Amino acid sequence: MKTMPTRISGELFGAAKVAGEIQSRSAAQQLDHWARIGRELEASPMITHGAIDKVLTGQASYDSLPDTAQAVVRVAWDEQISAKIAGLDFEDRLQEVGRPWAEADTEGHTVIRNPSASPA
């Protein structure tokens, strides 16, 4: 099988690495596995893209979809939420109003930013 290089998010790669370890697969093998599942779901006659699109655009109820289509919607929602969270950055606003904030560093330790600012 010929492989092709592609770019994916670090978050997706990390999830594939964790899931792959559980299934005795490399991260690349896990991503390939997930891609095949996605391809089959999209090809399934039980899942209609029109119905999924209606739910994603708020024109239909999530509960009206069969379980397999609900799974596709949950993945889409997860991707949308992750994108919105990744785009959040309140640092400028907090500095502007003179408020300190806490965040986690790369090792998960709490770091207080702008500690000289006055707490509310």
For the residues of 63-74, what is the DSSP string, one character each? GGS-HHHHHHHH
The confidence score (pLDDT) of residue 1 equals: 63
> pLDDT under 50 in the chain at which residues?
none
Q: Which of 82, 53, 76, 80 is nearest to 65 (CA)?
A: 53
d(CA 42, CA 52): 11
Domains of the chain by residue range: 10-86, 90-120
The confidence score (pLDDT) of residue 118 equals: 65
Average pLDDT, the chain: 84
The confidence score (pLDDT) of residue 119 equals: 62
The confidence score (pLDDT) of residue 80 equals: 83
The confidence score (pLDDT) of residue 63 equals: 92
Q: Is 30 buried (19+), middle (13-18) or exposed (0-12) by CB count in 10 A?
A: buried
Helix (H), strand (E) counts: the chain = 5, 2
The confidence score (pLDDT) of residue 49 equals: 78
The confidence score (pLDDT) of residue 120 equals: 58
